[in-house]
Amino acid sequence: MSERLQPGDVAPAFTLPDADGNDVSLSDHKGRKVIVYFYPAALTPGCTKQACDFTDNLEVLAGAGYDVIGISPDKPEKLAKFRDKESLKITLLADEDKQVLDAYAAFGEKKNYGKTYMGVIRSTIVVDEEGKVEHALYNVRATGHVAKIIKDLGI
């Protein structure tokens, strides 16, 4: 597992397929701030809540100069189903081989009910216009997280 990112680090570059199979790169957003968030699985209760919160606040975030990208290990087809079922307006990317999740330290050892296993660590990385990490938040909660980000960013 990679080291957790810190403010000032260069955000690892990536290119991943979106819900429609089109490649999206972090570099496509150069000159804009990007909220990259990692979640375990599309169409699950917590991840749905978080994705809907980002969609509901997208105008506020976009108005403040932020793009939002959600990344999970799901296949693009599942992301398309998720987007359509929940009317999501954020960009969803598929990281099936978990390389980007690993590069952002968003995949690793987790504990749940006393069991240890490998999985997606719910994380949010805010990347500035120059591609540097502005905020790195790990083990975040699905509920209330978007409101906290908006408050922390002073939006």
Cite the active site residues. Answer: 47
Q: Which residues contact 131 (CB under 8 A, 6 or more apart)?
A: 10, 11, 13, 26, 27, 30
Taking a C-beta distance cutoff of 8 angstroms, is the pair 136, 48 a contact?
Answer: no
Overall size of the chain counted in residues: 155
Structure tokens belonging to residue 124: 């949010």
In the numeric block, the tokens 């990344």 are attached to 71
